[in-house]
Structure 1
Amino acid sequence: MTATFAAGGDHRSLPVPDGLDGMRLDQAVARLFGLSRTAAAALVDDGAALVDGAVRPNSHKVRAGSWLEVTLPPPATAPVVVPQAVPGLRVVHADDDIVVVDKPVGVAAHPSPGWTGPTVIGGLAAIGHTIATSGAAERQGVVHRLDVGTTGVMVVAKSEQAYSVLKRAFKCREVEKRYHAVVQGHLDPLRGTVDAPIDRHPHHDYRWAVVSGGKPSITHYDTIEAFPSASLVDVRLETGRTHQIRVHFSTLRHPCVGDLTYGADPTLAARLKLDRQWLHARELSFQHPRTGDEVRFVSDYPDDLGRALDLLRD
């Protein structure tokens, strides 16, 4: 395959490879240029993807050898950390090497394209915490993340040594991460393990799914309390994939209560006054990166999750 690039590197012209013969145009553009399906479809709709010099719809089936011309948008600038006070962000522990926070709902771990809301990193900067400079500029010091809609305990590295040691500990599965989740229905068995690979959803942006050939993903769970319509479970993650708990329980047909993205019952969510998934990072245990001592941090349920539990028990 050959490709030519116009000035600025945003215009590309190349033949459709044999492996994409018969594929939808938007899918082919996404595969060839590493774009999301949504971004590729937008390019096609804007007339920025031509097949043999002609504008075609997203549903057009490309043929091997056809000439594809695509004008890509300029690369997005990297998000920057803006110090911003974050209401509800609580520092559980801080020393020269780490800062452990209790993250409220609606807060991202770090800046990212398209996110304009508060972040843990911005909140820490606003109260004077200096974070390790290792890692990409927008997520320096971040060694693990919680979803915007997930609350609970999270550690950030302040020193370069801590960043290196903690990144390795997370990678080698030496950190114990325990979550509490309320899932729909009753799990059978009440205690078990989900071992199913996860990758991006093949058809829906911003969602993940159990996919053959995905990254290994292992979730252990144990039922704590059962209610007529749901169960409170203790969850231990052996791996840390994006949306792992949400995807695995959805795959079991027991999605987290309130998690409408992954198939939860909206009627039950409304009855429990939940506008996000019932999922909380309850406990984090690891060896301190400088002293080597075992440290353990626990987070209480926030008000909305506690209220939902009370309603389930009534």
Structure 2
Amino acid sequence: MNDYFRPLVQSGPARPEGALPLAGGPLWFTHAEHLRHDAPGQVVPAAELPDAVRTRLTAPRAAVAGLAMDGPRVMGILNATPDSFSDGGLFHDPQKALAHGTQMIADGADIIDVGGESTRPGAETVNPEEEVARVAPVIAALRATGPVPISIDTRKAAVAQAAVAAGATLVNDVAGFTYDPELAPFCATHALPVCVMHAQGDPATMQKNPSYDNVLLDVYNFLHERVETLTALGIPRGRIVVDPGIGFGKTADHNLALLNGISLFHGLGCPILLGASRKRFIGTIGRAPEASDRMPGSVAVALSGVAQGVQIVRVHDVRETVSALALWQAVQGGSAPRA
């Protein structure tokens, strides 16, 4: 691709004439930044956008796993692993995992993302049988508690099959459906919504000197290619969520560039997921060496994404994020929500 258009997102009830709605939600824009690999960015009026670009940026997003995408949604992270970077081992026991998932739902999570393989830098691959043993009982137990959608965080078709049989309704692949060639066809056959994420390298090697020509445009190109591939395999755009993969083969500067320009990804015509919770750069900038102390920074980053129209934030700290979002939305609307 040669030309990219990043909407300069604004909020508030006082919209100027000619403002365009962003992705069918409450935010809007009057201008966009025209980006190219070979030239500085230029701000252009929204009225001058190509018709196809304008349509992708403004069209309402379809519901995902039964959740409307007309405002921010909170995805709670449930790591049923012994070695995840932030909470590894805390919820490896199925009963503890169930209790934590149930608490996140009570705290306001819209969807629970269950994973059985750590994707922290340096993590090794887990065999599918072990991964299934970690996640399937947790998903089945959560499904028995109520209707909140459950996502399975996996790269492997065998794990996704077992998770869906246990009650999962969305497949979230940190490898962007490039690891297991059977995973995307399985999702297409079963009409499952998917989340496709960018990563440079695999967890074992991804933080060994990652580099890009232009991280924002390079990640956009990857996700564009993946969306086109998935639609060709029978997964319609309306069932695809995109994730730029904060922390997956990126330096702190790469992460910040993606966060600053994340509204660009609305041009893919899909909901955007932001998963930055407790990542290392938050600890470095926020002076919180321990991952468990990074809640304030994680909430700040989540709100920055929501301000650019991100539809799903994937977080460890559900209660705090839900509370912050309620306040942010009240401020944007200029009034308190009705009880």
TM-score, normalized by the shorter chain, greater than 0.5: no
Structure number with bigger Rg:
1
Instruction: Judging by fraction of residues, say which structure has more strand.
Output: 1
Instruction: Judging by fraction of residues, say which structure has more helix.
Output: 2
The TM-score range, normalised by the shorter chain, is under 0.3
Higher RCO (C-alpha under 8 Å, 6+ residues apart): 2
Q: Give the alignment's TM-score, normalised by structure 2.
A: 0.26
Q: Give the alignment's TM-score, normalised by structure 1.
A: 0.27
